Amino acid sequence: MKLTGIIAISGRPGLFKVIAQGKNNVIVESLVDNKRFPAYSTDRISALEDISIYTDSEEKPLKEIFVSIHTKENGGEAISHKEADAKLVSYLTEILPNYDKERVYISDIKKLFQWYNLLHKSGNLILSEVVEETKV
C-alpha cells in the first residue's frame, strides 16, 4: 500500500495530496473536490504513512490496516463511517482483533473507514506488492 504524499489537515475535512512545496507552505489538492490551496506550517498536518493504530502489543501502521480492509472487501469499499458505532467496532474487531479498546476511540474508527473509502473513491488506494529478494 502506498500512502506517500497523502496527508490529513486538522480542522479540514477529507484528505489531501501534496502537489508542491513552497518556502513557508505546501500546496495541497483535496481528494474530494480537487481544489488546490496552501497549507502553512501553523496547520496541524499528519502524513497517512506515519499514522498507526494502537494494539495490545504494538502499534500497527495504517497502511497494513487498509490492506486488511482491501482484502476483506475484495477490493471494494468498506463499511460507511456513518454506520452505528457498534457496527463499526464489530467490523474493526474482525480486521484487527487485538486493537487497544481503551486508546482507540470511536472517532478514530470513523476516520479510518472514512479515509479508506475516500482513498478508494479517488483512485489513490494503490496496492503495491513488495517482493523481497532472499540472498543465499
Q: pLDDT tens-digit profile of 78-90?
A: 999 999 999 999 9
Angstrom distances, CA of residue 80 to CA of 57, 68, 83, 91: 28, 16, 6, 11
Phi, psi (deg, nearest 5) at residue 43: -75, 145
What confidence tier does 128 reach under pLDDT thresholds 50, 70, 90? Answer: low
Strands 59-61 and 36-40: unpaired
pLDDT mean across residues, the chain: 88
The pLDDT tens digits for 42-65 are 999 999 999 999 999 999 999 999
Tell me what pLDDT residue 134 has: 34
What confidence tier does 132 reach under pLDDT thresholds 50, 70, 90? Answer: very low
CATH architecture of 50-122: Orthogonal Bundle (1.10)
What pTM was computed for the model?
0.86
Mean pLDDT of 68-73: 92
Mean pLDDT of 99-118: 94
What confidence tier does 98 reach under pLDDT thresholds 50, 70, 90? Answer: very high
Quick check: do 6-47 and 50-122 share a fold?
Answer: no
What confidence tier does 22 reach under pLDDT thresholds 50, 70, 90? Answer: confident
Tell me: pLDDT of 133 over 50.
no
Distance of alpha carbon 29 from alpha carbon 136, whole angstroms: 45
Beta-ladder partners of 126: 2
Hey, what CATH topology would domain 6-47 get?
SH3 type barrels. (2.30.30)
Please state the domain extents for the chain. Answer: 6-47, 50-122
